[in-house]
Chains A and B, each alone.
Chain A
């Protein structure tokens, strides 16, 4: 057997092993699922056996109850949710707020979990780009970049597992009654989760260590397939974890007392599970892109040579582009999630967006605005590394105006903070001018204007150093201009029209607004790319010759992502108010109150700070490994390579 054939056989075997690992949890769980996940919490307790199960079998008595969400009848298969009291048995404690400890452990685990789930997706995309690129030098660059990413992810992966362990111990030791109940409901899911984690680890190590051995040809495709499997496992892992928080917010599969009714799918597939899944996967990607971009920015700023600067400039650009690609649909996914929350429980929706937590949503809107402003700013700065892009500079101020108008509307609070004297001077709780910006109709208009302007900035960036030379370029430009003009008109008009129609129709108006924005994104980007085929180059891209402000914008982007993630996690969790499991299991600990906005903001900032300090340590470890890498494994000098395929 030749060496190549042996390699191929080994690669196929590795791939099969991964598929096996992927399927293992499913195979293992089939008997459990078939029987409805077994009988959590030790099966039906003797004291609830009341009703006759069948006419022919009088000895086998079962009690039936109604699902709180699906309204279907099911056989009671578990104990009721425990009624806890403020005592050391239900809530053992240190001389410190247990909730804050749990908050910290949970948030750190989530940060790292998101990072290690997002980075392999990037690797997959970048590796695929490398395989598809015809330019050998570029292909090698992409491959090296993907490898660098996974290397960072590997160290973070261990930390994620450690933090996961800390989280479990924190739950077990500080909230034993609640965790006992949750694990009794999710017993089969938790086992599948654990096995999935094993599969994820195995796949990741094979993927990482097999990189050099599967560099070319058929083997490279096998390697790429492994990344797909790795990401499938990662995504399933996340979906399973989401089912727990989905259950806590919008329980299903249990009766009013919290007794499991035998259908594990109902418990997983709660009202908010799907929107949570979509929102989290997009959020993770945007977050991962931000973190890698910040890493690149940090390395750029500390670079000693032009070559290094060129490489990290390019790396930051790629990471930012990938992150922003997922940031753009993120508000729409968030909108869907909030809509489902409202549909599930009106009071939950009002608590979030009009009541107790409304101010946190204003902070969130501010953070979203900062993300888009930073992105636009970075792209304007990036025009500076292209010769010939100077012609666009004088238009930037109008882009700033559009963005800021959208931003101001987007962040205007419905409930304004004011002194009683100001309230009196205003003549009522709602300001007659600005009050109109405080409702959803205007805010939808604001965010869509921001996103459409970001798309426009990106199209200009693509054109930075090039002039379309296709015969229909004049027509194309006019078409594009008219398209964008009417897109703005449509978005703003619908935002105004929303005030004149019923609320349920108004909610539906977001669909044409989003469709307009996405049309700009997909059709105009595609049109632009086809116009730029064979375009006349009016100057080179000088990688590394970008202002330092651009790199601070990347760091700002990543920090804003991290902060916003902490904020939204807090909002999502605290909307349950004094419930562990909404309307099923009450939180009777001394900490079942909502923190003040100030305390929450400080806590989020602390979490963000801790994450960045620890991830800097991870990055530093990555640089230690890089120093030891053999010379030939390093990428060619990026500054000397032709422009990258993405975005050009």
Chain B
């Protein structure tokens, strides 16, 4: 009975990953819930470890013991398949290679954490090397022939001309200059402030404006007492509305009406425009950084912005300084993020 339960438990996970790997089950059919995706991935990996541990225990109780060698190898293979076929959109190879290496190290740490386990893990390898039985002798011979062929294959393929596009080590957030000159005025990025981030008294007030941004949760809800489209809205909320108007006249074609970088023209570009709803973009930066990037556009990227893969126009040629500040105000309001500040 224990063997049966153990086999079913582990078998389910294995079948699931096999279905994903062979494309029978699209990865998107197992939903990664927006807003919970990072923790969901870790949770799923944790659950897999727990299931495999329970399976191993139950099988062991029933007298069926998978050798430590195969436990280690199969678990590693499972993680590689999980990363390749379960997580969507696809993870770039460089990151999967990093994760795969770390998992391999983890498997090694596990199987060699004590002498007994280490001996168990090594045993199948030693059996093949010692070749005391006919089967192992044959296996050793196969390895002796197969390994050089495999190495030859790797060497051969590495010498073949490669027509793939090269990888790019793109700097998404290049360091800004200390100051930038827009419409004849110099702005020091360390100290400048958005002139429209103000409280009813007209003073710069980050806390006041932070309290009036949309709820940062699924659906992004407006605060009941902070509707920029209320005609009576004054001050900060009025500026947000004006910023929104500028955004929808100029920016949303690329950056999208939900500010997620998926506008009408977005997929004509590679990379697609910046996704402001991602915590790694405007949420990480000072408003002055955004001001500099919007004003100067892709053409104004510094040397470290190589390969300058940005077609954003230098908006200083189309918008006034005030309009740029207002559109930035709107972007933060709409995404529910707070600009970075230094206290």
Contacts and interface: CB of A to CB of B under 8 A. Distances in A.
Contacts of A212: none
Contacts of A500: 216
A330 B32 CA distance: 36
Contact of B271 (A381, A412, A429): A429
Nearest to A508: B343
A601 to B, nearest CB: 13
A124 B260 CA distance: 58
Interface string A378-417: 0011011000001001001110110111011101111111
A547 B122 CA distance: 15
B176 interface: yes
B304 A355 contact: yes
B99 interface: yes
A408 B79 CA distance: 13
A342 B341 CA distance: 10
Contact of B110 (A384, A400, A411, A435): A400
B37 interface: yes
Interface in B294-343: 304, 338-343
Given A425-B89, A427-B272, A430-B278, A393 B210 contact: no
A415 B103 contact: no
A384 B114 contact: yes
Interface string B235-272: 00000000000000000000000000110000000111
Nearest to A346: B190
A430 B34 CA distance: 14
A416 B92 contact: yes
B338 A501 contact: yes
B270 A423 contact: yes
A16 to B, nearest CB: 48
Contacts of B210: 502
A345 interface: yes
Contacts of A377: 109, 113
B11 interface: no
Contact of B164 (A384, A401, A419, A428): A419
Nearest to B95: A416
A503 B280 contact: no
B92 A426 contact: yes
B90 A422 contact: yes
Contacts of B153: none
The interface centre, meaning the residue of A351, A355, A400, A428 with most chain B CB atoms within 10 A of its CB, is A428
Contacts of B279: 435-436, 439, 441, 499
A405 B343 CA distance: 32
B53 interface: yes
A454 B259 CA distance: 42
A350 B173 contact: yes
B92 A422 contact: yes
A356 B174 contact: yes
A435 B278 contact: yes
Contacts of B117: 393
B172 interface: yes
Interface residues of B, number: 76
Interface stretch (B17-25, B38-46, B143-151): B38-46
A417 B167 contact: yes
Contacts of B169: 359, 415, 417, 597
Given A350-B176, A439-B279, A583-B178, A418 B168 contact: yes
Nearest to B52: A397
Contacts of A549: 112, 118
A400 B109 contact: yes
Contact of A404 (B106, B284, B286): B106
A346 B189 contact: yes
B289 interface: yes
A438 interface: yes
A354 to B, nearest CB: 4
Nearest to B261: A428
A397 B116 CA distance: 14
Contact of A432 (B37, B172, B177): B37
Interface residues of A, number: 78
A154 B166 CA distance: 51
Interface string B161-201: 00011111111111111100000000001100000000000
B3 interface: no
Interface string A479-500: 0000000000000000010011
A619 to B, nearest CB: 28
B275 interface: yes
A429 B173 CA distance: 11
Nearest to A432: B37
B163 to A, nearest CB: 12
Contact of B37 (A354, A359, A436, A439): A436
Contacts of B280: 414, 430, 435-436, 438-439
Contacts of A441: 279
B233 interface: no
A418 B275 contact: no
Contacts of A432: 32, 34, 37, 89, 278
Nearest to A416: B92
Given A412-B95, A418-B167, A347 B89 contact: no
Contacts of B42: 405, 409
Interface string A586-607: 0000000010010000000000
Contacts of A439: 279-280, 284
Contacts of B172: 354, 414-415, 429
A50 interface: no
Nearest to A441: B279
B93 A348 contact: no
B110 A396 contact: yes
A130 B203 CA distance: 64
A408 B102 contact: yes
A179 to B, nearest CB: 26
Given A356-B175, A419-B165, A503-B283, A383 B110 contact: no
Contacts of B339: 502-503
Contacts of A429: 170, 172, 271, 274-275
Interface in A484-532: 496, 499-504
B304 A356 contact: yes
Nearest to A505: B338
A347 B292 CA distance: 12
B87 interface: yes
Contacts of B283: 503
Contacts of A149: none
Nearest to B105: A373
Interface of A: 342-343, 345-348, 350-351, 354-356, 358-359, 366, 369, 373, 376-377, 380-381, 383-384, 390, 393, 396-398, 400-401, 403-405, 407-409, 411-439, 441-442, 496, 499-504, 547, 549, 583, 594, 597
6 contacts: A396-B109, A398-B49, A408-B102, A425-B90, A502-B339, A547-B115
Given A397-B110, A404-B102, A411-B102, 17 more contacts: A351-B304, A377-B109, A393-B116, A396-B110, A401-B46, A404-B106, A405-B42, A417-B92, A419-B165, A431-B89, A433-B32, A433-B38, A442-B38, A496-B39, A500-B216, A503-B340, A504-B343
Give 6 nearest A-B pairs by CB, closest first. A502-B338, A418-B92, A503-B340, A351-B175, A347-B175, A417-B94
